[in-house]
Structure 1
Amino acid sequence: MSQATFGDDDELFGEAASEMREDVEASLEQAWEALPAADDIWESDAGNVLGVLNGLNTALDAGDAEDHLRDAKKWFTMGQRADAFDDAADLEAEIADLEETITSVSEASEQVGDLTATIPELRGSLEDAGPDDADDDADDEE
């Protein structure tokens, strides 16, 4: 092989490394965009607690964020193993931040889902609790 071939290989590797970084960055951007907006989980037009919880549960959908994160991690891992990145600390930190945020959204969604199931039961229990109205009527007649 000639020296020129090695030079071309280095150039191709450099291009591939740049493209790989761009792929990671694009996947990270798509993942952030797929997460719910802060206002979507904060504001509600619902008339009762169950409506608020149902709306919140819908808003806490991470969408395709997990898939985009997986793509980013895949390309990042490949690039890191190939030693293709000059400095990957920023990508690694952003991947960790995104992963933490997705986990927080998922955990919140589970908690809201639990409350959504619990609140109607609690309401029913509170409505059934206390003195029975029929007993009160019987006592009044005596």
Structure 2
Amino acid sequence: MSSQSTLSDDDLFGEAAEEMREEVEAHLDNAHAALPDAASMWQTNADNVLGALNGLRSALDAGDAEEHLRQAKKTFVVGTRADAFDDPDELRSEVESVEELLSSINTADELASELTTTVPQLHDQLPEADEESDE
């Protein structure tokens, strides 16, 4: 292999590494864009608790954020194993940040979902308990 082709391989590797970094960053940007809006999650127009919980669940929809995070992680893993990034710790930190945020959103959604089921049951059970205590 001549020094010309080696230089060309290095140039191509550098170009591919830059493209991988850009791909990771683009997927992270898309993941951020797909995250729920803080204001819509915080405010409600509901007339009751169940309406508020259903509104919260809708507001917690992360859309395609998880898929974008998955794509970012795949490209990051390949780039890291190929030692293609000059500063993998910075990218790793960004990936982990989105991952933690999505985990929190998913936890909140699960809790809201549980309450969406539990609150109507309690609503129905409490009057029955009150009637039983009156007897």
- Structure-2-length-normalised TM-score: 0.95
Q: 2:74 aligns to what?
A: 74
- After TM superposition, give the deviation of residue 127 of structure 1 in Å: 1.8
Aligned structure 1 segments of 4 or more residues deviating by more than 4 angstroms? none
Structure-2 separation of matches of 1:9 and 1:130 = 79
Q: 2:90 aligns to what?
A: 90
Structure-2 separation of matches of 1:53 and 1:2 = 67
Q: Return the index of the structure with the highest Cα Rg.
A: 1
Q: 2:7 aligns to what?
A: 7
- After TM superposition, give the deviation of residue 129 of structure 1 in Å: 2.2
- Structure-1-length-normalised TM-score: 0.90
Question: What amino acid is aligned across from residue 91 of structure 2 in structure 1?
Answer: L
What residue ranges of structure 2 are gaps of 5+ in the alignment?
none
- After TM superposition, give the deviation of residue 131 of structure 1 in Å: 3.7
- After TM superposition, give the deviation of residue 62 of structure 1 in Å: 1.4
What residue ranges of structure 1 are gaps of 5+ in the alignment?
136-142
Q: Aligned residue pairs: how many?
A: 134
Q: 2:53 aligns to what?
A: 53
The reply on whether 1:128 has 2:128 as its aligned counterpart is: yes
Identity over aligned pairs, percent: 52
| Cα root mean square deviation, aligned | 1.3
